[in-house]
Chain A
Amino acid sequence: MHKLLTDQPGATMVLLGNEAIARGAIEAGVAVATTYPGTPSSEISLNFFQISQESSLYFEYSTNEKVSLEVAAATANSGVRSMCVMKHVGLNVAADALMTLAYVGVKGGLVILTADDPFMFSSQNEQDNRYYGKLSGLAILEPSSVEEAKNMIPYAFELSEALQEPVIFRTTTRINHSTAPVTLGIIRERVCRGDFIKDPFNYVTVPAVSRKLHVKLLANLEKAAERSEVSPYNFISGKGAWGIICNGVSFAYLSDAIRDLDIQDKVKLLRIGFSHPLPQKMIKGFLGSCEKVLVVEEGEPYMEEAVKAFAQEAGLTLPINGKGKDLFSRLYEFNPRMVRQVVAAYFGVPCKLEPMVDLSNIPEIPQRPPNLCAGCSHRATFYAVKKAAEGLSTIYPTDIGCYTLGFLPPLGMGDFLICMGSSAGTSCGFSKVTDKKVVSFIGDSTFFHSGIPGLVNAVFNNHNFTFVILDNGITAMTGHQPNPGVDMGLMNLQGYGQISIEAVVRALGVPHVAVIQPYKVKKSIETLREAFNFKGVSVVIAQEMCTLYAKGFKKTKSRAYYVSDKCRNHRDCISQLACPAFFLDAEKVKIDPVMCAGCAVCAQICPENAILPVKA
């Protein structure tokens, strides 16, 4: 049995934040869960995926976040408790659905989890998704710890049903990827079947209906504000004339800081866990009892600006600060020392800080950036593209996935990236106004997620570029999740369709389509060269299974390669491919036989033919 299905209320289990969130949903009786995977939220969905294989929970990896939310919008409006999980930028993709779903509302509880990523450990931006609460008019809940995240999920479902609106559940990486003991609660029975009662004058959002629904949304927002005032997740602790207002992980850093600074008797802490709508009366009362207030929140001054407005309305003139010089930054994530320092400086109390080690005479340590795996087929494709494009002046728009790492030297394949699917759309623009050859890269999952509309646009508007689809048969970057092109039979799962990327591309009317097997270097280069010479939209699909994923099925070519005595130390292999299986030993290139995946790409490019298979 999956450990998160353990039916032992009161028992303690050490859980990752994302496991705790999934457990919270199980306790809430969630019956439908949908997602598009994205770090730091991915393990929530992975647990749902596993649980769905041994219970009545319906779970799906949807094509993208918008579709994911639409699926959940329908199941929730059929009265079934549903959850939709995504990373913060995923909510941008789902925003079109979100904004009007807020007008329509829900019948069964719907919790939309957005995992923000301050410091951008694995994201392209660090946007603060609390603003989606204001933008959409929906309630937002934010936990401060792993334990609280689990407990808050059932509350989120109840709130959603009470308000008849979706609830946004916002986490940050340090909640998702922290581990702590969690006390298990009672598992509510899962109700999987619902019904949809026709009511087009409340469900079909033509202007006349939406004008009425907006009134309803504002009324619901009022109700949410009343609940925020009495929510157990907005609370005050401590006593004194100094005030601190905080949310999320900052609460943990502040709890430690207040104890370390020994100011328990001087400072009151208002922890906001229900952050949209903010508890206006509660905050005004808190401000009225303080001489000076510090707002501690990672990201944007979302609460600070609201708190200052509340003070103005209440006629209060006490100092209120948060972001600014010598205070907190809008950049990156906070840490305990930083919070302790700012609190001490703001309230004028001494702060003993352990002096840091002097790093001035530490030699420069070589960087250890993440790298494409040994035998990764993307490396082979990048090499072939580079060779085929020799002599051409190029622009390489890229996309989001493992292959984004190809932008690093020595491959250097990646010139522009803004979001999922942007390789296709931006290629249209670059090829229109520059005289360079545009060759763009997109992975299989990203192609299905949002690459197709860009390609449709290219065909319709007759743009001129080569679109290389790196099809490694799985969503590799986030941990090998399925996508619509994946053979689910390999996972021993039945009842799924499988969509051929080649068939889609041909059906769109792309005038030049070719398929390569990137481990066949020479043939790949020739095929790519033909595509580059074609005027108009050309698509090259590079098909080879992700080596890491293939290892799980023992589908890798088992024979490793070695560098024989014929080597004349040209080092083309190491300097052009940068496969991590290479290393230098006494200035000679060697291949780590454990790492080598046997792709033989290096053997094909060695000018001396010195790289040979290890004899069995």
Chain B
Amino acid sequence: MSDITRLIIVAVGGQGNLLASSVLGEAALLAGIPLRMSEIHGMAQRGGVVESALVFGNAQSTIISDGEADVLVGFEPSETLRALNKCNARTVVITNLSPLPPFTVAIGKGVYPDITELQQLIRAKTARLIALNAVDLAKTAGNVLSVNMVLLGALIQTGILPVTADHVKTAIRTKTKAAFVEINTRAFDLGVTAASQQ
């Protein structure tokens, strides 16, 4: 199983998860690494959770079982915690720390988890947690919508995926809108730097 890397990305509809997957797909093609993906995105536009599974290497499966992700990237902290069932003790977790509380919290049907406790829990159960405020970094880059690129930067910095920062930057140029390439690239670099400092 050593030549296979399994990545789960969880996000809330509208956070740009599918674009991030598409950039990684292109980067893998450039790197000559086989990649299969699957997505559950039926209700993305209705505020639901979007989950992508990306399997790099010579596997045939396009989905990732519970306990079998090598990396988990969460675009929203409570969704990162919810996806912990995909992890094991060797999993590296990357999470955005900026919450998007689900609507159920606003109508009193649940309590949003404490962000500090959330990080302690993930840290205790997995190999490594990289936690960053991707929204702030995206704003620094010039567009709050480039949260996805910040998190891609942090992901690539870990060196777990068999694709390089150059592959991803090339993919950002071909897969994201021309007007946003500069901001997206900057957001990606900010993610790389932020992760390297943790």
Asked whether A366 lies within 8 Å of B104 as measured between CB atoms, the reply is: yes
Task: List residues of chain A with CB within 8 A of the CB of B91.
Answer: 357
> Counting CB contacts under 8 A, is A373 at the interface?
yes
A326-362: which have CB < 8 Å to B? 335-338, 353-359, 361-362
B96-133 vs A, Cβ < 8 Å mask (1 yes, 0 no): 00000111111111111100010001000110000000
Assign chain B's interface to a size class.
Answer: 35 or more
> Counting CB contacts under 8 A, is A608 at the interface?
no
Which listed residue, B26, B65, B78, B90, touches A365 by the CB 8 Å rule? B78
Q: Could you say which of A173-181, A298-306, A392-400 contacts chain B?
A: A173-181
Which listed residue, B35, B105, B121, touches A366 by the CB 8 Å rule? B105
> Counting CB contacts under 8 A, is A251 at the interface?
yes
Q: Could you say which of A162-170, A206-214, A225-233, A253-261 contacts chain B?
A: A253-261
CA distance A255 to B36 in the complex (A): 14
CB contact under 8 A between A364 and B110, given known A177-B39, A178-B36: yes
A347 to chain B, nearest CB (A): 19
Task: List residues of chain B with CB within 8 A of the CB of A241.
Answer: none
CA distance A104 to B2 in the complex (A): 54
CB contact under 8 A between A14 and B62, given known A337-B67, A371-B103: no
> Counting CB contacts under 8 A, is A363 at the interface?
yes
- Most chain A beta-carbon neighbours within 10 Å: one of B36, B49, B91, B106: B106
A-B CB pair tally, cutoff 8 Å: 163
Asked whether B40 lies within 8 Å of A367 as measured between CB atoms, the reply is: no
> Counting CB contacts under 8 A, is A450 at the interface?
no
Residue of B nearest to A356 (CB): B67
CB contact under 8 A between A252 and B61, given known A122-B43, A368-B12, A410-B107: yes
> Counting CB contacts under 8 A, is B197 at the interface?
no
Which listed residue, B29, B84, B88, touches A181 by the CB 8 Å rule? B29
B55-75 vs A, Cβ < 8 Å mask (1 yes, 0 no): 000011111111110000000
A400 to chain B, nearest CB (A): 13
CA distance A181 to B106 in the complex (A): 43
> Counting CB contacts under 8 A, is A405 at the interface?
yes
B13 to chain A, nearest CB (A): 8
A286-316 vs B, Cβ < 8 Å mask (1 yes, 0 no): 0000000000000000000000000000000
Task: List residues of chain B with CB within 8 A of the CB of A548.
Answer: 45
Residue of B nearest to A582 (CB): B106
CA distance A372 to B125 in the complex (A): 36
> Counting CB contacts under 8 A, is B89 at the interface?
yes
B111 to chain A, nearest CB (A): 7
CA distance A180 to B104 in the complex (A): 36
Residue of A nearest to B63 (CB): A335
Asked whether A174 lies within 8 Å of B38 as measured between CB atoms, the reply is: yes
Task: List residues of chain A with CB within 8 A of the CB of B35.
Answer: 180-181
A5-41 vs B, Cβ < 8 Å mask (1 yes, 0 no): 0000000101000000000000000000000000110
Task: List residues of chain B with CB within 8 A of the CB of A14.
Answer: 25-26, 29
CA distance A121 to B26 in the complex (A): 27
B72 to chain A, nearest CB (A): 10
Residue of A nearest to B1 (CB): A260
Which listed residue, B68, B82, B109, B110, touches A409 by the CB 8 Å rule? B109
CA distance A584 to B84 in the complex (A): 27
> Counting CB contacts under 8 A, is B87 at the interface?
yes
Task: List residues of chain B with CB within 8 A of the CB of A370.
Answer: 43, 46-48
CA distance A362 to B84 in the complex (A): 9
A397-433: which have CB < 8 Å to B? 402, 405, 409-410
> Counting CB contacts under 8 A, is A464 at the interface?
no
Asked whether A354 lies within 8 Å of B67 as measured between CB atoms, the reply is: yes
Asked whether B81 lies within 8 Å of A362 as measured between CB atoms, the reply is: yes
Residue of A nearest to B82 (CB): A365
A1 to chain B, nearest CB (A): 17
A18 to chain B, nearest CB (A): 11
Asked whether A179 lies within 8 Å of B89 as measured between CB atoms, the reply is: no
Asked whether A177 lies within 8 Å of B41 as measured between CB atoms, the reply is: yes
Task: List residues of chain A with CB within 8 A of the CB of B78.
Answer: 365-366, 368
A143-183 vs B, Cβ < 8 Å mask (1 yes, 0 no): 00110000000000000000000000000001001111100
- Most chain B beta-carbon neighbours within 10 Å: one of A260, A354, A362, A575: A354
A560-584 vs B, Cβ < 8 Å mask (1 yes, 0 no): 0000000000000011001010111
Asked whether B48 lies within 8 Å of A369 as measured between CB atoms, the reply is: yes
Task: List residues of chain A with CB within 8 A of the CB of B60.
Answer: 145, 251-253, 255-256
> Counting CB contacts under 8 A, is B42 at the interface?
yes
B88 to chain A, nearest CB (A): 4
Asked whether A580 lies within 8 Å of B61 as measured between CB atoms, the reply is: no
- Most chain B beta-carbon neighbours within 10 Å: one of A366, A409, A575: A366
Task: List residues of chain A with CB within 8 A of the CB of B63.
Answer: 174, 335-336
Which listed residue, A338, A372, A402, A583, touches B106 by the CB 8 Å rule? A583
Asked whether A178 lies within 8 Å of B38 as measured between CB atoms, the reply is: yes
- Most chain B beta-carbon neighbours within 10 Å: one of A12, A179, A410: A179
A73-95: which have CB < 8 Å to B? none
Task: List residues of chain A with CB within 8 A of the CB of B88.
Answer: 354-357
Asked whether A336 lies within 8 Å of B29 as measured between CB atoms, the reply is: no
Residue of A nearest to B42 (CB): A122
Asked whether A402 lies within 8 Å of B46 as measured between CB atoms, the reply is: yes
Task: List residues of chain A with CB within 8 A of the CB of B189.
Answer: none
Which listed residue, B61, B62, B108, B110, touches A367 by the CB 8 Å rule? B110
Which listed residue, A145, A365, A368, touches B113 by the CB 8 Å rule? A365
Residue of A nearest to B112 (CB): A366
Which listed residue, B41, B79, B85, B106, touches A357 by the CB 8 Å rule? B85
Beyond known contacts A252-B60, A354-B89, A357-B67: 8 more, CB 8 A cutoff:
A14-B26, A179-B37, A181-B34, A251-B60, A357-B87, A368-B78, A578-B106, A583-B106
Residue ranges of B at the interface with A (Cβ–Cβ < 8 Å)? 1, 12, 21, 25-26, 29, 34-43, 45-49, 59-68, 78-79, 81-82, 84-85, 87-91, 101-113, 117, 121, 125-126
Name 8 interchain pairs, CB-CB below 8 A, sorted by A. Answer: A122-B43, A174-B63, A178-B39, A179-B38, A180-B37, A335-B66, A357-B67, A365-B110
